[in-house]
Amino acid sequence: MSAIANTIFSPELAARFDHLVTIYPIKRSALVPMLLYAQDEVGYISDAVVTEIAQRLDLLELDVRNVLSYYSMLRTKPAGKYNVQVCTNISCMLRGGYEILGHCKEKLGIGHKEITPDGLFSLEEVECIGACCWAPAMQVNYDFHDNLTTVKVDEILETYRKGQGKDVR
């Protein structure tokens, strides 16, 4: 039984949140992880997510929105089922990061922060993801893919299209 009666989250996530608020010296410390986990389940931070998280942490919705707007991984609009995030920062740039981004744009027919019409993929140009020595690299949701070539990118996208990507949550 969750601490919130009419939760919008799955019972598993609600239970996880009930636990999460108990492990820190202050409840509010759970805010950033809760926003991320909620986004993983709901797809984005909707108004209802903001309301429930504020309630769970005894915060104003304004406090939640204030934090939400700071972090680049948190979004208030849906993304594709598979969010393709291509790094173009220096180490990736030197090894073809922009070519990989261009290839993804062409292949998916969408630009930065856009979603394919079928809702399967979205694309983002992102800053350094900490895979510099295995550049060029990208993340699809939370999965890392490195030492990329355009051929490898095609294979990776095809794997997700078929629903066979590993998709860490």
Partner 1 sequence: MPNLVSHPDEVRVLSRRFGQGATNIDKYIELDGYKAVQLAIEKGTDWIIGEMKASGLRGRGGAGFPTGMKWSFVPKTSEKPKYVLVNGDESEPGTCKDHVIFLHDPHAIIEGTMIAGLAIGAKMGFIYLRGEYRYLLKIVEKAVADAYAKGFLGKNIFGKDGLDFDIVTQTGAGAYEVGEESALMESLEGKRGVPRIKPPFPAVVGLYGGPTVINNAETIASAPHILLMGGDAFAKLGSERNGGTRLFGISGHVERPGVYELPMGYSLRKAIYDVAGGIKDGKKLKAVVPGGSSCPVLTADEIDVGLDFDQMAKAGTMLGSGGIVVLDETVSIVEFALRTIAFYQHESCGWCIPCREGTDWIKKTLTRIYNGGGSKKDVDNVQYLADNMMGRTFCPLGDAAAMPTLGFVKKFRKEFEDYIEGHKAGTPIITVEQLVGAH
List the structure tokens of 162: 């078929």
Min CB(118)–partner 1 separation in Å: 25
Burial of 100 by CB count in 10 Å (0-12 exposed, 13-18 middle, 19+ buried)?
A: buried
The answer to the question of residue 130 lying near partner 1 (CB under 8 A) is: yes
Q: How many residues bind partner 1 (CB under 8 A)?
A: 44
> In this structure, are residues 99 and 138 in contact, taking their beta carbons and an 8 Å threshold?
no
The answer to the question of residue 29 lying near partner 1 (CB under 8 A) is: yes
Interface of this chain with partner 1, residues 73 to 102, rule: CB under 8 A: 73-74, 88-91, 93-95
List the structure tokens of 42: 């709901």
The answer to the question of residue 8 lying near partner 1 (CB under 8 A) is: no
Interface of this chain with partner 1, residues 36 to 55, rule: CB under 8 A: 36
Name the DSSP letter for residue 32: H
Beta strands in 36-129 (DSSP E): 82-87, 114-115, 121-126
| Residues near partner 1, by CB under 8 A | 23-26, 28-33, 35-36, 57, 66-67, 70-74, 88-91, 93-95, 127-135, 139, 142-144, 146-147, 168-169
